[in-house]
């Protein structure tokens, strides 16, 4: 039996590796896995919903929250501020929910200082060539922005060694399966087994006589 506390999964990737789609698909197929809604100062994109995809706030509000220590981590990514709420994360983990954080490498570094036992997963595209093609499609109106993201991708990919797992997102279904396997196997880790449950199930059996005498049989 697993401990009551949820496990924490941190997923990072360079822009264009397909991380967000992978994380969304995963949360939809694993019932006890939820993503923590981050705060951001970036503008809302078409189809996004406040407090579902992100909590969208003005920069002055974000900075005040950061000053008050309300973020477990925060960072500037592609010119906008993003942060994970300490309160939201703790509440979810305490309720036993497994949490997936889709955050950048700067955020992951900060989280690692506080949650060393989290599971750190890095998503890679199959190659730089494929990453370029994906970004080209996504940023068709801004060559400058694409160049910026590619440069940044090189720096981000250098971080892969800090993560526990690396998934190459070539075939989407395979990448999902690998992610699912990592997440499912986490609950079987010895550190996640409740010692009180083991005690109750296996070491507190008593014979009727021993029970009367208040003794254990083991
Ligand atoms: P997007 O704006 O495209 O949704 O996300 C841009 C980048 O910001 C992605 O790499 C995403 O992982 C990262 N990001 C999203 N939320 C957070 C957060 O709370 N903290 C940090 N550090 N990065 C985040």
Q: Is residue 210 part of a domain?
A: no
In a domain, 199, yes or no: no
Ligand 1 pocket test: which of 9, 41, 75, 77 has the largest number of ligand atoms within 8 Å of its C-beta?
77
Inside any domain, residue 102: yes
Domain housing 32:
8-187
| 99 domain residue, yes or no | yes
| Closest residue CA from atom 17 of ligand 1 | 103
Give a yes or no: residue 144 inside a domain.
Answer: yes
Mutate to test the pocket of ligand 1, among 38, 41, 88, 100 (most ligand atoms within 8 A of CB): 38
> Does the beta carbon of 41 lie inside 6 Å of ligand 1?
no
Q: What is the pLDDT of residues 22-34, one digit of tens each?
A: 998 998 999 889 9
Q: Is there a domain that residue 98 lies in?
A: yes
Q: Which residue has the higher pLDDT, 207 or 200?
A: 200
Contact 162, 200 (CB under 8 A): no
Please give the mean pLDDT across all residues of the chain: 91
Mean pLDDT to the nearest integer, 38-61: 96
Q: Which stretches of the chain are DSSP H helices?
A: 19-29, 59-67, 86-94, 105-114, 128-138, 143-157, 172-186, 195-198, 208-213
Nearest CA to ligand 1 atom 10: 104
Give the tens place of pLDDT for each residue, 120-176. 999 999 999 999 998 888 766 688 888 888 999 999 999 999 999 999 999 999 999
Q: How many domains does the chain have?
A: 1
pTM of the model: 0.90
CATH code at position 168: 3.40.50.300
Nearest CA to ligand 1 atom 12: 103
Q: Return all residues near 40 (Cβ < 8 A) that are at least 6 apart.
A: 54, 55, 56, 57, 62, 80, 81, 82, 83
From the CA of 13, give the closest atom in ligand 1. 10
Is residue 183 one of the residues assigned to a domain? yes
CA distances from 189 to 7, 27, 39 (A): 11, 21, 31
CB 102 near ligand 1, within 6 Å: yes
Residue 19 contacts residue 13 (beta carbons within 8 Å): yes
Atom 3 of ligand 1 has which residue's CA nearest to it?
15
> Based on the number of CB atoms within 10 Å of its own CB, is 37 exposed (0-12), middle (13-18) or buried (19 or more)?
middle
- Confidence grade of residue 218 (pLDDT, cut at 50, 70, 90): very low
Domain membership flag for residue 147: yes
C-alpha closest to that of 146 among 157, 130, 132, 156: 132
């Amino acid at each position: 039996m697993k401990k009551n506390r949820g496990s924490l999964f941190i997923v990072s990737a360079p822009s264009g590796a397909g991380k967000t789609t992978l994380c969304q698909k995963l949360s939809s197929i694993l019932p006890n896995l939820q993503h923590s809604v981050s705060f951001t100062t970036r503008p809302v994109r078409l189809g996004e919903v406040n407090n579902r995809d992100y909590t969208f706030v003005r920069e002055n509000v974000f900075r005040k929250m950061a000053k008050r220590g309300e973020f477990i981590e925060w960072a500037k990514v592609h010119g906008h501020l993003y942060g994970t709420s300490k309160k939201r994360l703790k509440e979810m983990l305490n309720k036993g929910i497994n949490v997936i954080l889709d955050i950048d490498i700067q955020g992951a570094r900060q989280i690692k200082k506080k949650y060393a036992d989290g599971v750190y997963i890095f998503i890679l595209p199959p190659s730089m060539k494929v990453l370029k093609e994906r970004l080209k499609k996504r940023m068709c109106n801004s060559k400058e922005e694409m160049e910026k993201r590619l440069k940044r991708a090189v720096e981000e990919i250098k971080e892969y060694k800090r993560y526990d797992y690396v998934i190459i997102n070539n075939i989407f279904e395979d990448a999902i399966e690998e992610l699912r396997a990592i997440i499912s196997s986490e609950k079987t880790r010895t550190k996640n087994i409740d010692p009180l449950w083991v005690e109750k199930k296996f070491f507190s059996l008593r014979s009727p006589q021993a029970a009367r005498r208040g003794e254990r049989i083991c």
